[in-house]
Amino acid sequence: MLWEGAWRLQLPPGDILSCPILSCPILSCPDPDSETSPTLILGRDYTCYAEACAHLGLPSLHSRRSTLTLKFAKSLMVSEQYRHLLPPTRVNISRRQTRSANNLDMPKCRTERYRTSAIPHMARVLNTSLV
């Protein structure tokens, strides 16, 4: 398959290194928190994901997702064109002035897949940042 793709792209065969990309253990690792990926990247000194992230000076995937989601959700809140994608605030629903009036109304999530999807996650992140 590698040589067939090289022939289609008209690449010289001497420029191609043959390596099994699809069988790479990092790509087939199901969970970034597992002990396999930091061990493969950093060696045997770092066995847990949190320690590997701290050593490399990188944020964890969970904190990076929360930071980027908060930034994106705040841009949706001020956008007139895309504000309708987020649920309304509680004051817009009931017209009552309460302490949580600026919080977004949480959509009902009947499945785990919808609960972890973008809109409910953005509503949760915005509600925790507004407190």
Number of Cβ atoms within 10 Å of the Cβ of 34? 12
Residue 15 scores a pLDDT above 80: no
The pTM of the full predicted model, rounded to 2 decimals, is 0.55
What's the CA gap between 72 and 50, in Å, rounded?
25
What's the CA gap between 44 and 17, in Å, rounded?
28
pLDDT confidence bin for 71, thresholds 50/70/90: very high
User: Quick one: angle between helices 61-78 and 118-130, nearest 10?
Assistant: 80
* Buried residues in 98-127 as b, exposed as e (16+ CB within 10 A): eeeeebbbeeeeeeeeeeeeebbebbbbbb
Over the stretch 98-108, which tens digit does the pLDDT of each residue have?
666 677 778 88
Task: Phi first, then psi: give them for residue 32, nearest 5 degrees.
Answer: -70, -15
3-state secondary structure of 39: helix
pLDDT for the residue 77: 86
